[in-house]
Amino acid sequence: MRGHDEAHKSLCHYYSKMTTVKLPPEELVDSDMQLRRWRSDDVDTLHALVNQSLPELSPWMPWAANGYSKEDAVEALRLGGEGWDAGEEFDYAIVVSDRVRGSCRIVKRGGPGVFELGYWLGSGETGRGLATRASALLVGIAFDLGADCVEVRNDESNTRSGLVPLRLGFNCLGPREIPAWSNSSGTSSNRNRRADPT
């Protein structure tokens, strides 16, 4: 019986180690910019920001192609919270001067050790380097979490978005076909990768 108990304890310890998830900070600061974890009480903020930005977002973001309801915002925040707690995806609000200006995220996607970076800004918030600065913070966090590389995929027609990985030292791995579900006006996207510098 004692041997059985020891084996059980050992097995429980093994599984508890397997389920330990390393999570990033819920808040990151770079000068006047704060990245903070999206919260369930951000529904109105997210809903309003996406809706005022639909002309800029809908050509590139499938989830914004047919409008964005309050229920969509609730679901996005719910799924984002579950993904965060599971250690699979980390969504941040981009905040400057106490106002949310956009969103950025890293997601475990593309195989072991691979994180994918995504970002979008509200109308009138582009051209100030916010996406680049936010992305730089998240690339560092991805490597802190054990990523071997970080990838960014952007529609080749979305040239402004494509500048972000170039500024951050990503290497373009070439175009790939855009999935049929995408609302993109283009036919292919660029896949960019940056390896862990260590």
- Asked if residue 173 has pLDDT above 50, the reply is yes
**CA dist., res. 136 & res. 152, Å (int):** 12
Mean pLDDT (whole number) for 3-31:
64
Give burial (CB, 10 Å; 0-12/13-18/19+) of 112: exposed
- Look at residue 198 in the predicted model and tell me its pLDDT: 60
Six-digit token string for 181: 């579900």
What strands lie across the sheet with 99-108, from one edge to the other?
27-30, 33-37, 89-96, 99-108, 114-121, 149-155, 188-195, 171-177
**Per-residue pLDDT tens digits for 63-119:** 998 999 999 999 999 999 999 999 999 999 999 999 999 999 999 988 889 999 999
Higher pLDDT: 17 or 147? It is: 147
- The CATH number, out of the four listed (3.40.50.720, 3.40.630.30, 1.10.3720.10, 3.40.50.10860), of the domain defined by the range 23-149: 3.40.630.30
- Asked if residue 185 has pLDDT above 50, the reply is no
- Asked if residue 2 has pLDDT above 50, the reply is no
Beta bridge partners of 118: 105
What is residue 173's DSSP assignment?
Answer: E
